[in-house]
A and B are shown apart, each in its own frame.
Chain A
Amino acid sequence: MAGAGGGGNDVQWCFSQVKGAIDDDVAEADIISTVEFNHSGELLATGDKGGRVVIFQQETENKSQPQCRSEYNVYSTFQSHEPEFDYLKSLEIEEKINKIRWLPQKNAAQFLLSTNDKTIKLWKISERDKRPEGYNLKEEDGRYRDATTITTLRVPVFRPMDLMVEASPRRVFANAHTYHINSISVNSDNETYLSADDLRINLWHLEITDRSFNIVDIKPANMEELTEVITAAEFHPHQCNTFVYSSSKGTIRLCDMRASALCDKHSKLFEEPEDPSNRSFFSEIISSISDVKFSHNGRYMMTRDYLSVKIWDINMENRPVETYQVHEYLRSKLCSLYENDCIFDKFECCWNGNDSVVMTGSYNNFFRMLDRTQRRDVTLEASRESCKPRQLLKPRRVCAGGKRKKDEISVDSLDFNKKILHTAWHPQENIIAVATTNNLYIFQEKVN
């Protein structure tokens, strides 16, 4: 299987798997809140509103049957966060997993960071397939042997056992955030990571849990003067001194930690002037950036606001190099979307392995593939109706107004409760994970 070459439209996508309950009655705890492949793509982690993490593992490919693409099966499930209560503020702290980030693999075990609104945890996921047998003082079931019956000594030996995957919390990074954590990002130095809330960004060392460095603080002296908050933050993939953070005003700031200990002053400010013809009551809300992601090569970054995806060259601050409309037909519906709160939905976006295609979600369980090299885009749907193995996904079209063509869906028929906020792309292959409310769909490139 070649790498993630070819654009989103050379690639034909087909259904591979779907995970999660089938029934329409969704338990709130099962709502998927984050999806992330690890660095090799072998593992796929999801977090949900109930504070659980489920990790899927790609089965090693069956060489004799190339048609049978490797599948992802449950590898480990654990409760990462529990609901907590902050007694000082009389506030409940939700257990919902906001983000998961994998650490690059250093040894046999896998490590990931998971965070809720207030606390970040480092989890170690390790395999155990052998266990010691033949203790002198204990029976195999754990009962102590009668000392008087022991006449010889033996050395316990390791014998194979059924594979057990254990997840254990190795570090808990707590009490560093007054506001709600929206992002975590592991540095390329593999020693530090950042966590960002609405007003502050902290730098942590993975080994040290009782303190962190505050590197960005945009809290005004008088909270009444607050005009913008931090919405996402990420480290540069190669430059360990560089990170970016996005704001609710649609700006992105690139900061260099070598410039000063406190990075309140940005090195670069990326901002596109607003189109005055598009001004409305809701301009502020729709310009708020919900996600920012560096490209794998580190030269570009992508931002997602409510209606569009923008690609920025980090060497050019005054405007993005590419802008893609995700669902422009919603611009005339902003008032209704404000009423039903959908206008506040935070969509994420992701790059494919070679940075040629980007993907983001929309409503009605639609998701969009935007091909940068061919300047084409396609809308696909994650639906139970297209769930036959290797079934090809058909492009979908939304009719903005006027006469609706045969295969089109009109804007008013879109189901705004079915939203795809979280998507992930395998780092090397054309395999994507798309989260609907409580299901995880895995699609793969069609192989002839």
Chain B
Amino acid sequence: MDVEAKRIMALSISKLYSLRTQRGGLRLHRSLLLSMTMRAARDIYHTAQLLRDAEEEQVVPCAPDAATEEPMEITKDSPQTLTPKEVAMKPQEPIDAVEDDKENRCASERHSRKRHCKTAIEPDFLPLKKAKMDTDEEKQHLPGEVLRTNNGNSYRQAESLTAFPANRAIVAY
């Protein structure tokens, strides 16, 4: 089950990366679905990992029993000890890329790395391009316009007549 989870997790990550270079810009719907799938797979994989780690710890105190159990544990663990490293290596590269890429760094990114199994939509080790898109959008709103910054929970003054900024995409006829 966790082998499958790991495979899906790796697959989702590579798909998320390839999305960023696709023509037409970041597809929000697709990246949301990919992130959710990756998160589900990651949660399962981590849960399985934690269970395995817990089992290992229990094996050690019971020495006489371990004599018979340990060989089994070792053979089970040896293919798997590679995998946490493998997984750890993958996030390393994007993390390095992120640290070099100062433009994309933001406070929330550091927060997300500390979180474990929290409801993060974006995987922690990917640069937060979505945040960048967000700030770009905010910048484009000219002063004096109605700016929607919430989803309806607070009192909103202006009713929804929203004028949009002047053409920024070049249209050729």
Contact = CB atoms under 8 A, between A and B. Distances in A.
A175 B29 contact: no
Interface stretch (A81-89, A133-141, A373-381, A430-438): A81-89
Contacts, number: 145
Contact of A175 (B130, B151, B159, B169): B169
Most chain A CB within a 10 A radius of its CB, from B137, B149, B151, B160:
B160
A391 interface: no
Interface string A337-349: 0110100100000
Interface in A174-221: 174-176, 178-180, 182, 198-199, 210-215, 217-221
Majority secondary structure of chain A interface residues (helix, strand, loop or mixed): loop
Contacts of B120: 224
A284 B148 CA distance: 28
A169 B40 CA distance: 47
B54 interface: no
A212 B165 CA distance: 12
Contacts of B65: none
B19 to A, nearest CB: 11
Nearest to A220: B151
A180 B133 CA distance: 13
Contact of B28 (A93, A176, A179, A288): A179
Contact of B137 (A118, A169, A178, A182): A178
Interface string B127-162: 000110110110010000000111110001001111
Nearest to B150: A221
A1 interface: no
A156 B22 CA distance: 56
Contacts of B131: 223
A437 to B, nearest CB: 18
Given A217-B151, A335-B8, A212 B164 contact: yes
B170 A87 contact: yes
Given A89-B25, A93-B24, A265 B152 contact: yes
Contacts of A180: 24-25, 27-29
B37 A284 contact: yes
A119 B165 CA distance: 14
Nearest to A215: B160
Given A82-B172, A91-B24, A288-B33, A262 B152 contact: yes
Interface residues of B, number: 52
A157 interface: no
Given A198-B29, A338-B11, A176 B164 contact: yes
Contacts of B170: 84-85, 87
B157 to A, nearest CB: 12
B116 interface: no
A86 B169 contact: yes
Interface in A234-259: 248
Contacts of B137: 178
Contacts of B11: 338-339
Nearest to B136: A89
Nearest to A91: B25
Interface stretch (A7-15, A18-26, A123-131, A225-233): A225-233
Contacts of A221: 149-151
A224 B109 CA distance: 10
Given A93-B25, A180-B27, A212-B164, A224 B121 contact: yes
B95 to A, nearest CB: 18
Nearest to A227: B121
Given A281-B8, A281-B41, A284-B37, A217 B148 contact: yes
B85 interface: no
A172 B33 CA distance: 32
Nearest to B149: A221
Interface in A66-121: 82, 84-89, 91-94, 96, 117-119
Nearest 6 pairs of A and B residues by beta carbon: A91-B25, A94-B24, A264-B152, A261-B159, A198-B28, A214-B160
28 contacts: A84-B170, A87-B169, A92-B25, A94-B23, A117-B24, A119-B171, A175-B164, A175-B167, A180-B24, A180-B28, A182-B29, A199-B28, A210-B163, A211-B161, A211-B162, A213-B161, A213-B162, A220-B151, A223-B121, A223-B134, A224-B112, A227-B121, A228-B32, A229-B32, A248-B33, A335-B8, A338-B37, A339-B11
Given A91-B24, A248-B29, A281-B8, 5 more contacts: A217-B148, A224-B121, A229-B28, A229-B32, A281-B5
Interface of B: 4-5, 8, 11, 15, 23-25, 27-30, 32-33, 36-37, 40-41, 44, 108, 112, 120-122, 130-131, 133-134, 136-137, 140, 148-152, 156, 159-173
